[in-house]
């Protein structure tokens, strides 16, 4: 049977908490403009599916001060951290243990449904997207960040990071039943589901737009959380993975260096019900 949470160990590692904090600092300032595009009611109901430590959930609560937000995840330690960090926003912002494969909400509950940094890490992403669409009301929006590890570019040094990302992403996907190139494949899934207003936008996490330290912190957290698994699932040893990550981190910290992570944001509107 396919493991529905093949990255459970990495998600629970302390490096993931650092990573989610740095990712949100890097991404949110650009993501806000994409979120403001949606036509939402004055008191929107928002779902943050796979909310982790609540980095996006609390930023949504601040961005939409009259909203009600539910964050769901299957990792209780992330949920506990989110509840304690953002207790001041309860009961407008709440966190529950629920799986994105089987949400408890009724059909058509939410005006906006987010799923950030999850779909590439679990199998059957299309099943999850269908579940997210089910709980979103007609005329409501899906806002997805399906990562794609073919969209990271670093300078060549003694090692060529192109080889690393190409090989690692394909082998890791095959070993875990996931798609680490999910970013480029989400459009097809949304189109096949006949959703409206599908768009693919990019948040550019690079050494010009994002402080180098924040970008470097993301790659350091990946190094600390994923080098063991890369050693297990791919042709690269753990030590070799560490060497590649360290070179990428040095590239980011080099004041003359340039590096970029293109982060796809894939969104769509659930079509309005046709009149009887
Ligand atoms: C990389 S984190 C992203 C967290 C958050 N969305 C953010 O943007 O900061 C992925 C999260 O997905 C959660 N996850 C994995 N499988 C899940 C499932 N079946 N249902 C709900 N959450 C899940 C993990 O526990 C983890 O907290």
How confident is the model over 7-34, as pLDDT tens digits? Answer: 889 999 999 999 999 999 999 999 999 9
Band (pLDDT 50/70/90 cuts) for residue 193 is: very high
DSSP 23-90: HHHHHHHHHHHHHTTS---SS-EEEEET-TTSHHHHHHHHHSTT-EEEEEES-HHHHHHHHHHTGGGT
**What is the distance between the alpha carbons of residues 224 and 202, in angstroms, rounded to a whole number?**
26
Does the CB atom of residue 117 touch ligand 1 within 6 A? Answer: yes
Band (pLDDT 50/70/90 cuts) for residue 129 is: very high
Cβ count within 10 A of residue 266:
24
User: Which among 199, 57, 38, 190 has a CA at the least distance from the CA of 111?
Assistant: 38
How many Å lie between the centroid of ligand 1 and the Cα of residue 213? Answer: 24
Query: Quick one: which atom of ligand 1 is closest to the CA of 50?
Result: 22
**What is the distance between the alpha carbons of residues 147 and 245, in angstroms, rounded to a whole number?**
18
How confident is the model over 217-231, as pLDDT tens digits? Answer: 999 999 999 999 999
- Stretch 85-97: mean pLDDT: 98
**pLDDT value of position 273:** 75
**pLDDT value of position 80:** 98
User: Which among 22, 212, 252, 245 has a CA at the least distance from the CA of 117?
Assistant: 22
| pLDDT reading at 249 higher than 70 | yes
Q: Are strands 110-116 and 68-73 parallel, antiparallel or unpaired?
A: unpaired
- Stretch 55-79: mean pLDDT: 98
How confident is the model over 133-187, as pLDDT tens digits? Answer: 999 999 999 999 999 999 999 999 999 999 999 999 999 999 999 999 999 999 9
How many Å lie between the centroid of ligand 1 and the Cα of residue 4? Answer: 12
When the pLDDT of each residue in the chain is averaged and rounded to a whole number, the result is 97
- Stretch 100-115: mean pLDDT: 98
How many Å lie between the centroid of ligand 1 and the Cα of residue 91? Answer: 21
Considering the chain, what percentage of its residues have pLDDT values greater than 70?
99
| pLDDT reading at 276 higher than 70 | no
For residues 117 and 27, the answer to whether their CB atoms sit within 8 Å is no
| pLDDT reading at 1 higher than 80 | no
Higher pLDDT, 41 or 5: 41
Band (pLDDT 50/70/90 cuts) for residue 2 is: confident
> Omega into 91 within 30° of 0, i.e. cis?
yes
First to last CA, the chain: 42
How confident is the model over 204-220, as pLDDT tens digits? Answer: 999 999 999 999 999 99
**What is the distance between the alpha carbons of residues 27 and 30, in angstroms, rounded to a whole number?**
6
Does the CB atom of residue 28 touch ligand 1 within 6 A? Answer: no
**pLDDT value of position 35:** 98
Band (pLDDT 50/70/90 cuts) for residue 275 is: low
Round the CA-based radius of gyration of the chain to a whole number and report it.
Answer: 18
Helix ranges (H only) for the chain are: 8-12, 14-35, 55-63, 76-85, 125-134, 161-176, 182-192, 212-233, 238-253
Tokens (6 digits) for 18: 């650092």
| pLDDT reading at 61 higher than 80 | yes
- Stretch 99-111: mean pLDDT: 98
| pLDDT reading at 195 higher than 90 | yes
User: Which among 70, 52, 54, 59 has a CA at the least distance from the CA of 13?
Assistant: 52
How many Å lie between the centroid of ligand 1 and the Cα of residue 76? Answer: 11
How many Å lie between the centroid of ligand 1 and the Cα of residue 267? Answer: 18
Q: Are strands 68-73 and 93-97 parallel, antiparallel or unpaired?
A: parallel
Does the CB atom of residue 240 touch ligand 1 within 6 A? Answer: no
**pLDDT value of position 98:** 98
Q: Please tell me the residue having the least CA distance from ligand 1 atom 8.
A: 116
């Amino acid at each position: 049977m396919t493991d529905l949470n093949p990255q459970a160990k990495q998600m629970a590692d302390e490096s993931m908490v650092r990573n989610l904090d740095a990712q949100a600092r890097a991404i949110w300032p650009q993501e806000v403009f994409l979120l403001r595009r949606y036509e939402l009611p004055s008191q929107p109901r928002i779902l943050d599916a796979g909310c982790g430590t609540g980095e996006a959930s609390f930023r949504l609560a601040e961005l939409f001060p009259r909203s009600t937000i539910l964050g769901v995840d299957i990792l209780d330690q992330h949920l506990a951290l989110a509840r304690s960090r953002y207790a001041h926003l309860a009961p407008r912002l709440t966190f529950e243990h629920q799986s994105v494969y089987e949400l408890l909400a009724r059909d058509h509950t939410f005006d906006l449904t987010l799923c950030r940094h999850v779909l590439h890490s679990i199998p059957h992403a299309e099943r999850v997207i269908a579940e997210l669409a089910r709980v979103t009301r007609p005329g409501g929006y899906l806002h997805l960040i399906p990562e794609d590890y073919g969209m990271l570019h670093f300078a060549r040094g003694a090692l060529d990071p192109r080889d690393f990302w190409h090989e690692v992403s394909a082998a890791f996907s095959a070993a875990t039943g996931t798609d680490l190139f999910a970013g480029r494949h989400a459009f097809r899934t949304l189109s096949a589901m006949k959703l409206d207003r599908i768009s693919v936008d990019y948040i550019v996490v690079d050494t010009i737009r994002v402080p180098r330290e924040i970008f470097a912190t993301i790659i350091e957290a990946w190094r600390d959380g994923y080098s063991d698994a890369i050693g297990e699932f791919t042709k690269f040893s753990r030590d070799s993975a560490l060497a590649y990550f360290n070179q990428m981190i040095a590239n980011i910290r080099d004041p003359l260096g340039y590096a970029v992570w293109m982060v796809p944001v894939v969104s769509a509107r659930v079509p309005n019900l046709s009149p009887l």
